[in-house]
Amino acid sequence: VDTEDDLPWRCSPQSERAVLANRHFGLGRAQGLTKSGRPLVVAHAGAFDFSGVAREGLADLLMNQFAFALEDILQAGHALSLRRKELVWGVIVADIQGLSLSVLRYVGLVQELARIANQYYPDLVDAIIIVNAPVVFTQIWRVVSALMEPSTRRKVQIL
């Protein structure tokens, strides 16, 4: 993986609200490039506190941060595509260690995240790689995969 400095696109949160969302949600930004030169995001999704978001009424802030993270991947891929004169998609690696069935209590939040990704960023990446999947992930995947567009679902690799 190359460093973040190798990315031709770099944007940082500017508003107080965006800085707060980035600090607390940190859903992932294009941190560097894969060996094949694609924007890479590593998201620590298993450590995400859905109960805290629901309890504190922060769903709108979460959605803003999620859109910011997706836009960051899009813009990094766009800048690389222009530079190379070929289409460049991103790669997301989602570390889901620690994810439990309790995430299913917040399926409404997960549905909204899926809606944003499906509606506004349907072909953002060409691979979503899931690592450190807990045993209960099979049950979680049944619910989450049903929320994804088929074209996105086909890109998921569970290691």
- Given a cut of 50, is residue 136 above it in pLDDT? yes
Give tens-digit pLDDT for 5-33. Answer: 555 555 666 777 766 666 666 565 677 88
Closest by alpha carbon to 41, among 15, 78, 4? 4
Can you list the domains of the chain with their CATH numbers?
4-158 (3.40.525.10)
Question: Of 3-7, 32-36, 66-70, 132-136, which gets the smallest average pLDDT?
Answer: 3-7
Contact 41, 30 (CB under 8 A): yes
Q: What is the mean pLDDT of residues 79-99?
A: 93
Dist CA 142 CA 38 (whole Å): 29
Question: Of 21-25, 74-78, 121-125, 142-146, which gets the smallest average pLDDT?
Answer: 21-25
Closest by alpha carbon to 29, among 83, 78, 65, 80? 65
Place of tokens 């629901």: 54
CB under 8 Å to 159, separation ≥6 — which residues? 129, 130, 131, 133
State the DSSP H helix or E strand holding residue 120, giving kind and residue range, or none if neither. Answer: helix 107-120
Provide the pairing of β-strand 39-43 with 32-33: antiparallel
pLDDT of residue 95: 92
